[in-house]
Amino acid sequence: MAKRILLVTSSIFGEGGQSRALAASFKATLSGHDVELSERDVVEQPLPYLTGAETMSWMTDPAERSAEQQALARHSDELLAEIEANEVIVLAVPLYNLGIPSQLKSWFDRILRAGKTFKYTENGPVGLLEGKSALILAARGGMYAGTDFDSQTPHLKHMLGLIGVKDVEVIYAEGLNTGDERKQQSLDEARQAIGHYAAKLI
């Protein structure tokens, strides 16, 4: 049975983004193999910022939702169906001002739903989407991995962990704005790591 993979991209620079280049490398490694790849570009398919009205729509029984609430809830419901249908989640993520793109945060705001992807217990929250794995393709202009400035990696792992995705690998391409030689070396190393990761999937 084909492995089902969801690839989420979030570069505001489109095809010129380095995280998008990592995503393209990942896709290339899957070519010709028995996989089902779904793609979502949260920049080209933007989501509005989360509001209290939308949150309340989730808490309203579907049969009792107004037309406005149905439209608001649809944002999250469609994303939940998408993530539930896939076994592997691949996030191609640039580092903007030490954080994730706001568009990607809006995506996470729709999939982190109590009662749907996690539940509260006496011992804390428990994820409901167990059995899935994730790959983070992290593109950075500077060198951040392993330093106090890298708040992005734990943030992403914590959000994925909240919904039960704890098998998370990270492939970094760093120093991309520190010179052509360093950029090429970093991208080459990332592509090699992507190839090794993909080989385990296919």
Give the count of domains, the chain: 1
Sign of CA dihedral 176, 105, 160, 92: negative
Nearest in space to 46 (alpha carbons), one of 80, 72, 71, 12: 12
CB of 94 closer than 8 Å to CB of 18? yes
Band of residue 32 on the pLDDT scale cut at 50, 70, 90: confident
Nearest residue to 100 via CA among 128, 132, 135, 136: 136
The range of the structural domain enclosing residue 124 comes to: 3-201
pTM exceeding 0.85: yes
What is the average pLDDT across 10-14? 96
Predicted pLDDT of residue 1: 79
Residue 15, exposed/middle/buried by CB under 10 A (0-12, 13-18, 19+)? exposed
Res 202 pLDDT > 90 = no
d(CA 148, CA 88): 28
What is the band of 16 on the pLDDT scale with cuts at 50, 70, 90? very high
What is the rounded distance in angstroms from the CA atom of residue 108 to the CA atom of residue 118? 13
Compute the mean pLDDT over every residue in the chain, rounded to the nearest whole number.
96
* pLDDT (average), residues 48-74: 97
CB < 8 Å & 24+ apart, contacts of 76-80: 76/110, 76/111, 76/113, 79/40, 79/107, 79/110, 79/111, 80/110, 80/111, 80/113, 80/116, 80/117
Mean pLDDT on 20-25: 97
Mean of pLDDT values over 58-63: 96
CATH number of the domain at 38, please.
3.40.50.360
Q: In the structure, what pLDDT confidence band is assigned to residue 92 with cuts at 50, 70 and 90?
A: very high
Q: What is the pLDDT of residue 23?
A: 98
Please say if the pLDDT value at position 166 is more than 90.
yes
| Burial bucket for residue 127 (CB in 10 Å: 0-12, 13-18, 19+) | middle
Checking if the pLDDT of 140 tops 90, the result is: yes
